[in-house]
Structure 1
Amino acid sequence: MKHLLLILFLSLIVSKLQAQDNYEIQVYGSETVDSGRTMLELHSNYTINGSKTVFDGQLPTNHVEHETIEITHGWNPWFETGFYFFNSIGSDGRTSYVGSHIRPRVAAPLSWNWPVGVSLSTEFGYQKSAFSANTCTLEIRPIVDKKVNKVYIAINPTLDQSFAGPDSHRGMIFSPNVKGSYDVTKVVALGLEYYGSTGPFFHYDPFQQQQQQLFVATDLNTDPNWEFNGGIGYGFTSSTDRCILKIIIGRRF
């Protein structure tokens, strides 16, 4: 009980940045990659309806495709490191390598027998200013999840900190992500994924300046070595891309 209260307390402290910039649209589960194994993932996201003009030096997102390569290696049962390579494909100079991040993550070992899965991810890296106004960022992502029979819930009360760009003096931005899914069959799970970015903690931006997205998503569990997640998402504010299609395909080696 003391361990659970500690995690909840830390989550509230951390729950004080922007969403995932449409390169890795994913609500994280607490499980890390097994020791000695490597996960290779491809995140493919296509903006069906996004921004159409250059704003503050950032290229528009409408009809652009984002391809992110993620390589994650498990070092032991509770520690992994992930590497991201962000890429953009689009017309009018929008095809480019965008940037890279590194993401170490620690998890509460299963031997602790906590009632929920818990891990903590930190992600740091660089991206070109034409694709992200904040070019150097840190993400702190606590992860809590739980599976009860056919129902799965994951909560990521994420914090983002910019070190270079317009948000560098705003402090940490609260970007909560939440997922809920239901196992329709042993192979197919259907659910909803929420992605938000509300502004600095306790000093939230006006609603239309926030990022608010909801995805209808599907997970396929055909093989323990493979991962598939796909969905379509809708933005509910003027600061959010209106419609995005996403697919994640992963393979463990």
Structure 2
Amino acid sequence: MMKWLILIFGLGLSLHSLAQDNYEIQVYGSDLVEPHHTMVELHSNYTFQGSKQEENGVLPTQHVFHETVEITHGFNDWFETGVYFFNSIGNHGRTAYVGSHLRPRIAVPERLHWPVGLSLSFEFGFQKRSFSEDTWTLEIRPIIDKTLDTWYVSFNPSFEKSLRGRNAGEGFVFSPNLKIDDAICKWMAAGIEYYGSIGPPGDFPPIDEQQHQLFLAFDFFFSPQWELNVGYGWGLTSGTDRDIAKLILGRRF
């Protein structure tokens, strides 16, 4: 199994991208919010080392908090919809409501007992021009995951498209995400999360112009009603924010 996981990760690292978006740093699992229930999550992160000046009209990211509220409702065992509210907290005009996204998602129901979890999300929305090169974007995210004994792996081979903004004339950008962790005890799992933005398929730029981040992450299972994920990440290329701490806190209702 580990050889297979290493191969996937290596392929991701060997592959013109959208501007870095650190408002929701999360590798999705295939499971949905239970029918007729709602999940409220707060995505928080702080950039210790990021961009220090405006780039293409986008405000710098260094020493900025990103706070995103996500509300997701499960309608049945194969469909849910989530909405995001992005916010930035920083000095020099960097404190603001940034934008919102809508994310419907479909999944293969667990009752069908497929050998892997499988779902597909479509995320559409806007961000203010001073916080993103592209004001309207679309993301298509397949989600494939599997649990084997204490190990869990999730792969999100996402594709992003600018609908309005600096990159609107470009095609889809390949942005793979990968999570591998091990349940080291009943209440905690530890592992790595990888986030990339590689470029249009067939026209990948040099690796220094791509975005690659690697996080050491921990998931805590204190209660079925609560979700807690914390991590610290490092940018692996010059086009990526270097040092980021993140936290995701969620509550099911």
Match of 2:144 in 1: 144
Report the 3-state secondary structure (helix = DSSP H, G, I; strand = E; otherwise coil) of the residue aligned with 1:162: strand
1:74 aligns with 2:71: no
* CA distance in structure 2 between the partners assigned to 1:54 and 1:202 by the alignment: 30
Match of 2:9 in 1: none
Report the 3-state secondary structure (helix = DSSP H, G, I; strand = E; otherwise coil) of the residue aligned with 2:69: strand
| Deviation readout 1:46-95 (Å, 9 max, x if unpaired) | 00100000111100000000000000000001100000000000000000
- Structure 1 residues 108-119: aligned runs within 5 Å: 108-119=108-119
Letter aligned with residue 24 of structure 2: E
- Structure 1 residues 1-253: aligned runs within 5 Å: 18=18, 21-253=21-253
- Shift, 1:111, TM fit: 2.0
Letter aligned with residue 235 of structure 1: G
How many residue pairs align between the two structures?
Answer: 238
* CA distance in structure 2 between the partners assigned to 1:200 and 1:207 by the alignment: 13
Runs of 4+ with >6 A deviation: none
Q: Structure 1 length as normaliser, TM-score?
A: 0.92
| Deviation readout 1:89-127 (Å, 9 max, x if unpaired) | 000000000000000000001122110000000000000
Structure 2: where are the runs of 5+ without partners?
Answer: 1-14
Once the two structures are overlaid, the 10-residue window that deviates more, 151-160 or 109-118, is 109-118
- Shift, 1:18, TM fit: 3.8
- Shift, 1:170, TM fit: 1.3
Letter aligned with residue 115 of structure 2: P
Match of 1:4 in 2: none
2:19 touches 2:132 (CA, 8 Å); kept in 1? no
Letter aligned with residue 81 of structure 1: T
Q: Are residues 80 and 20 of structure 1, via their aligned partners in 2, closer, same or farther at CA, if it must alter by over 3 Å?
A: farther
Report the 3-state secondary structure (helix = DSSP H, G, I; strand = E; otherwise coil) of the residue aligned with 2:22: coil
- Shift, 1:20, TM fit: 6.4
Two-structure CA RMSD over aligned residues (Å): 1.2
Match of 2:5 in 1: none
Q: Structure 2 length as normaliser, TM-score?
A: 0.92
